[in-house]
Structure 1
Amino acid sequence: MLDRLTSMTVFAQTVRSGSFAAAAEKLGMSPQMVAKHIEALEQRVETRLLNRTTRKQSLTVFGRLYLEQCQSVLAEVQVADRLAQASHAEPHGRLCINAPVTFGRHTLLPVVTQFLNRYAQVDVELTLSDRLIDPMEEGYEAVVRLGPLQTNLALVARPLRTYRLVACASPAYLLTHGIPQLPTDLTRHECLGFAPWVSDLSRIWHFRQDGRVIEVPVKGRLQVNDWEALRSAALDGFGILISYEQAVAADLESGLLIQILPGYEGPIRPIHLLYAADRRMTPKLRCFVDYLMEVLG
């Protein structure tokens, strides 16, 4: 039995070439084999595709419609072949990524440097920003998005490890103002606010215990749009900081900051890796997505 894709290729080339003999020369096969492929297609579809005379050939009405579909199928096959070739190609070129500042600095950057060590022909341009980014409009190939997502069929969203927050303060602050024992005690404390967060996260902190969610309205006289500056205020003893746990891990270990309310789970936020839903994904992006999901997925 003749291969159907080969027969479609022969059929399309025969139409382009104008004769069996010309198509045979182009394809490197005999005119008799070209005829067999055309006949095989006509038997499969149970109708004639070409009107053949001793002097010329022409498409039948159905043959013209069938040719369009064959060309579409063959084009898709070429795309699939190129995709397969690209998947085996060595990743190379510049990869533009955007991520939130704190997550990018404390978690993503070490992963990026490890990725670069593995793929020597890839360059990464990592932009850290807490503003909302549209990767399609701003030219980023991959974006890390913090918080709930809106449905966007143009983007693929891959979930990363949950972004967990912990409440902490300096020993000096706790010595002066006391250690909160319950989440509701925070209403009587100076709570530092991170300005880029949406209003509900700036003013209401969520804690969980035994499946129960506790919402605590907090207030504070200081809000800053830079997390490092806010951390400095906490280290200086000005107030209670709620922070990404990875960002204060070293401070907690050294005792510069002390976690409060250890019996309660702090706020958690979803975090995703976003990239265009494009079937022609480049090797550099494919390898980065795979690597990030392996390490942080």
Structure 2
Amino acid sequence: MLSKPHVCQKLGLKHALSDASAGYIAGCWFLSLPIETLIPLLIAYNLVAFGCQPLFSLLPEKFENKAISIALLLAVAALLLAPERYWMCLICIATGSALFHVNAGSIGLKSSDNDSFQLSWFIAPGVLGLLTGMAAGINELSIVSWGLIAGLSCSMFINTSTVKPAKTNPTTEPFSISFALIAIFLLLISMRSLVWSFYQGNLTLSASLLLIMATAAFFGKLAEANAHHSVLYSAVHRNHWLNTSSGYRSCMPPIRHPSHAENAQSAPSETCSECSPWFGSGYSAGWRHSFRVNEFQPTSPLNGSG
């Protein structure tokens, strides 16, 4: 019997559909618009898709699922707009992308329980949908547009709510970062996306090339996350062995595997404040994110939608 899909897998389906819509629209733009129109569109898209993310991260967390539904509705609206209304289409798809990635990313981080492999099932489908949608766009497969509209509409009814854990004492040191630093980071990512976009403009895009890139990126992201998970798991058990064998006692506290975080007791970490002055109040592996972050795709001119 198949197990119930994880929240990250449900979010991954929505991610694929949302980004496939952006990719399809981008493919249509590449095919039909002159370069003097296409370049301003790409610049504006990246500015909106990345620039709105810090603003949308200020929304209360109780609106996360509603925000995701609104983002999917904006993608549907962009697909329904007439091709000549490309600026209105850009506003819908770019705003929806920013809204989706911030809120879906937040839910994905919370539901994954710091398990990188589980989280990758939300992240990886984005690039797969993005490049597959672009392949359909450059080949003028209008039936794909209607399929995306149907898929986006149905996906709004998929429940991605998470059960809020009981309040316990933190088992990790809080990780904080300034709002301005996040904005600067997003601006740099946006500029990198534009450089990649202009590079792609010199390439001869084909459906086969895009599908190969999509498949490689999809499995690459899953493999990378699985490798990170495996290495961390090995490090946890090695640390546990060192702390329990032959009476050895490390000055550094034992690292907790992320999947065991919910089982952590409220007792303070055994940390030597003299040997580890930075962690005098207790330390364990992993960071408690105090902000919501987007996962960025490096493989498309519509980089914010990945």
Give the TM-score, by structure 2 length. 0.22
Give the TM-score, by structure 1 length. 0.22
Q: Which has the higher contact order (CA 8 A, sep 6+)?
A: 2
More helix by share: 2
More strand by share: 1
Larger Rg: 1
